[in-house]
């Protein structure tokens, strides 16, 4: 029987090994993606339109679509999520409606994204006749992101010190004034960090968008900025393949001779964007926190 001293050392070594292996795995994955992809990335690749059957296409419209869908989704889910978060942390009493809300949030959060995608296909693409479009994609992403945003808002608000709240009420502010001018303001660092982090997830989403925003995009004409014009990049009813979907599509349709390079380059761009989102969320959170608390 190994002495407990030795088993202690062996155990510690094993755990360090596990941590090391996981770190090495991550470094290898990211290293591989960047190594394969960075040689493909240049200004042309990042701005040109995809060429469907020739080599030399780019991912410009896809990047734009990813960003546009992200912004629109956030515009919808941040207010809604905040609303529910405020309700749950400030107004709700333990009861049937509150329990129902929590169950709904958990259910929505655990739904596979492909299921939300086909629901979007049925409702927005076919029944509403919006077709494969920006707006169908935004609706699907909203359903996906809403539970995340709600949890975020609720946690951020709950983390605000109750003293602040009580002080504000003691000074005669109404509950709503307290919420908007004191609690939410204090919750901003946590909110911003969480929003930017969840933006990274939305940016990389593909399964929900495959059958809502579509697997194709038209070349974008930035001289026409009118959202109601067919030609504009802001036209909400145009098909809008995003970067993540493009990686899947390029591999699945296999028409491009340089599909491998495109997928590598697009993966690298995606990973870099996620890295940027992660870093920015940390810095923004820290900066805002230090501004609020003067530390």
Partner 1 sequence: MINVELSNKIGKYTTFFCAILIITITMAIILVIAYKGLAIFTRDGVSLRNFFLTTKFNPDATPPEMGAATFIAGSVAVSLLALLFSAPFGIGLAIFMAEISRGWERKIMQPVIELFVGIPSVVYGWIGISVLVPFIRNNIGGMGFSLLAGGIVLAIMILPTIASVSTDSLRANPADIREGSLALGVTRWQTILMVMVPAAMPGILTSIVLALARAFGEALAVQMVIGNAIRMPTSLLAPMNTMTSIITMDMSGTVMGAVDNDVLWTLAFILLLISVVFILIIRTINRGRTAMR
Partner 2 sequence: MFSSKRGLGLALSVVLAGSILLSGCASNSRTSPAPSTSGVSTSGVDFTVSGNITAAGSTALQPLVEQAATQFMQSDPNAKISVQGGGSGTGLAQIAQGSVDIGDSDLFAAAKLTAAQATGLVDHQVCVVGFTTVVNPNVTVDNLTTQQLQQIFTGKITNWSAVGGSNLPITIINRPTTSGTRATFKEYALGGLEEAQGIALTEDSSGAVAKAVSGTPGSISYLALSFASSNNTVKMVSLNGVAPTNANIISGQYPIWSYEHMYTKGDPQGMTKAFIDYMMSPAVAPLIQQLGYIVGSSMTVSRTS
Place of tokens 């591989």: 32
Which residues does residue 240 pair with via DSSP β-bridges, in sequence order? 217
Q: CB 234 → partner 1: shortest distance, Å? A: 25
Identified binder of partner 2 from the candidate list 17, 27, 79, 107, rule CB under 8 A: 79
Identified binder of partner 1 from the candidate list 65, 212, 217, 267, rule CB under 8 A: 267
Determine, following the binding rule CB under 8 A, whether residue 278 of this chain makes contact with partner 1: yes
Joined together, the tokens standing for residue 34 give 């960047």
Q: What is the DSSP letter of 56?
A: -
DSSP H helical segments within 50-133, as ranges? 60-86, 96-110, 113-120
Q: CB 231 → partner 1: shortest distance, Å? A: 27
CA distance 159 to 222: 43
* φ, ψ of residue 217 in degrees (nearest 5): -145, 145
Q: CB 29 → partner 1: shortest distance, Å? A: 7
Identified binder of partner 2 from the candidate list 26, 27, 219, 275, rule CB under 8 A: 219
CA distance 264 to 151: 34
225 binds, among partner 1, partner 2, none (CB under 5 to 8 A by kind): none
53 binds, among partner 1, partner 2, none (CB under 5 to 8 A by kind): partner 2
Distances from the Cα of 107 to the Cα of 86, 144, 148, angstroms: 20, 11, 12
Identified binder of partner 1 from the candidate list 46, 67, 111, 236, rule CB under 8 A: 111
Count other C-beta atoms under 10 Å from residue 115's C-beta: 11
Three-class SS state of 222:
coil
Piece of the chain touching partner 2 by CB under 8 A; list 4-12, 27-35, 104-112, 212-220: 212-220
Identified binder of partner 2 from the candidate list 135, 144, 146, 262, rule CB under 8 A: 135
| Positions that interact with partner 2 (CB under 8 A) | 52-53, 72, 75-76, 78-79, 82, 125-126, 128-132, 135, 180-181, 184-185, 214-219, 227-228, 230-231, 235-239, 251-255, 259
């Amino acid at each position: 029987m190994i002495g407990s001293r030795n088993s202690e050392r062996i155990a510690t070594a094993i755990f360090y090994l596990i941590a090391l292996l996981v770190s090495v795995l991550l470094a290898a994955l990211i290293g591989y993606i960047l190594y394969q992809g960075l040689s493909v990335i240049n200004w042309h690749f990042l701005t040109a339109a995809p060429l469907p059957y020739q080599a030399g296409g780019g991912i410009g419209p896809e990047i734009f679509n990813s960003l546009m869908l992200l912004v629109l989704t956030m515009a919808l889910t941040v207010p809604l999520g905040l609303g529910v978060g405020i309700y749950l942390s400030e107004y709700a009493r333990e009861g049937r409606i509150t329990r129902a809300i929590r169950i709904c949030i958990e259910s929505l959060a655990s739904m596979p994204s492909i299921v939300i995608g086909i629901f979007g296909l049925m409702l927005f693409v076919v029944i509403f006749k919006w077709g494969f479009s920006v707006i169908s994609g935004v609706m699907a992403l909203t359903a996906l992101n809403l539970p995340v945003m709600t949890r975020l808002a609720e946690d951020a608000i709950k983390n605000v010190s109750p003293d602040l709240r009580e002080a504000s009420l003691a000074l005669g502010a109404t509950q709503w004034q307290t919420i908007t001018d004191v609690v939410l303001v204090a919750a901003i660092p946590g909110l911003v960090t969480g929003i930017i982090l969840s933006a990274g997830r939305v940016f990389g989403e593909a399964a929900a968008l495959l059958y809502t925003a579509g697997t194709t995009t038209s070349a974008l004409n930035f001289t026409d900025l009118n959202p109601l014009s067919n030609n504009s990049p802001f036209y909400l009813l145009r098909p809008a393949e995003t970067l993540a979907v493009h990686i899947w599509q390029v591999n699945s349709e296999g028409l491009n001779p340089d599909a491998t390079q495109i997928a590598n380059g697009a993966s690298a761009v995606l990973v870099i964007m996620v890295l940027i989102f992660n870093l920015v969320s940390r810095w923004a959170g820290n900066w805002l926190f230090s501004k609020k608390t003067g530390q």
